[in-house]
Amino acid sequence: MQSMNQLFGRMKGRSRAITAENPQGLKGEGGKAEGPLGVARKGKAFISLKQGESATLVDIEGPGIIQHIWMTVTDKTESGWFVLRDLVLRMYWDNEEHPSVEVPLGDFFCNGFGARTVVNSLPIVVNPVGGMNSYFAMPFRQAAKVTITNEHPQSIEAFFYQFDYMLVDELDEDIEYFHAQFRRENPTVLRQDYTLIDGIKGRGKFIGTYMSWTSLSRYWYGEGEVKFYIDGDQDWPTICGTGAEDYFGGAWGFVKYDNGNPVHEQTYSTPFMGFPYFETRDNTRSHIYDGAACPMRGFYRWHILDPILFEEDLRVTVQQIGHDGQALFERSDDISSVSYWYQTEPHQSFPEFPAVMDRRPR
């Protein structure tokens, strides 16, 4: 983490920003587009995305470091909700063939289920109403390319974005590149751990988890242990936690009490751990049979002060174990996740990305 004391020292680099108005981030080229009020009067604040279209947001030569990303888009069209799940964000470093980042737009910013929520953490901040920000540092030596693909049933009239980055003369030889991968399993397999990430090869550090967790079984859901299999671990992990609620920094079921009676689960959003989203019913559809009791929860955990280091390989899983008030039991739920990590390149190719209807809540 950068100390505040570093701000008064000299920093070597050249600050740039990419927007719809200055898509190459060129020096002295910002604000030139012509709009309703004339030239240089808010000429082009957004781009449109046709149904099925992929747009290149960033295509720049390095070396450099993306330092901040801001994006926003509607969360609903005439075709319905799930815009945030239907738009796919991909990032490529140094002209690689396969993306290092491949995630639904909303899930990358800890807004799962295709629904908005406010997030107040250190690397990810989502402000009212839907202003999505990332402060993950993303270095690249030769080139950086970022695309957005519209898999929503309808065109998106306005997609807003800004990438703030710094061009530098050189980067250290042993840098590690930013990665993020989405997975979804609905339902999870009984007595089989849900895999957050596997197949990571090389040196790096695991720095975060976001999970969208929909309860498909009754009673308490969060007893499963989070496990990190590091550098050759097979049957048994090197790091094994005490439960999912503990991994996300909570305790005693997140339950708020009133006069000794449990009322509801409490949400929270802190710099490194959070439970920002909780809904007891799915309100994204209007059909009479939709909106049934189906608790949905969104959690994040950033390993920024306590990264999980690996030299050769890494696999991360979480058990599906609940408690009915008397005993533990195996359970099956609907889980989506994003894993965030840094590693040396090249990286292993990701599993096939889920089709749009396989990403939507069911």
pLDDT tens profile 65-101: 999 999 999 999 988 889 999 999 999 999 999 999 9
Provide the CATH number for the domain around residue 32. 2.60.120.1390
Say whether 322 sits in a helix, a strand or coil.
strand
In a domain, 3, yes or no: no
- Of the candidates 186, 194, 267, 253, the one whose C-alpha atom is nearest the C-alpha of residue 220 is 253
Backbone angles phi, psi at 43, to 5 degrees: -75, -40
pLDDT at 322: 96
Q: What is the mean pLDDT of residues 285-309?
A: 82
In a domain, 60, yes or no: yes
**Per-residue model confidence as pLDDT tens digits over 211-261:** 999 999 899 999 999 999 999 999 999 999 999 999 999 999 999 888 777
pLDDT confidence band for 288 (50 / 70 / 90): low
Q: What is the mean pLDDT of residues 324-333?
A: 96
Distances (CA, A) of 270 to 227, 302, 312: 23, 10, 32
Q: In this structure, what token pair is assigned to residue 56?
A: 């290149």
In a domain, 62, yes or no: yes
In a domain, 98, yes or no: yes
Q: Give the domain range for residue 325.
A: 12-359
pLDDT over threshold 80, residue 287: no
In a domain, 105, yes or no: yes
Q: What is the mean pLDDT of residues 267-294?
A: 79
pLDDT above 90 covers a percentage of the chain that reads: 83
pLDDT confidence band for 286 (50 / 70 / 90): low
pLDDT confidence band for 117 (50 / 70 / 90): very high
In a domain, 1, yes or no: no
Q: How many domains does the chain have?
A: 1
pLDDT confidence band for 38 (50 / 70 / 90): confident
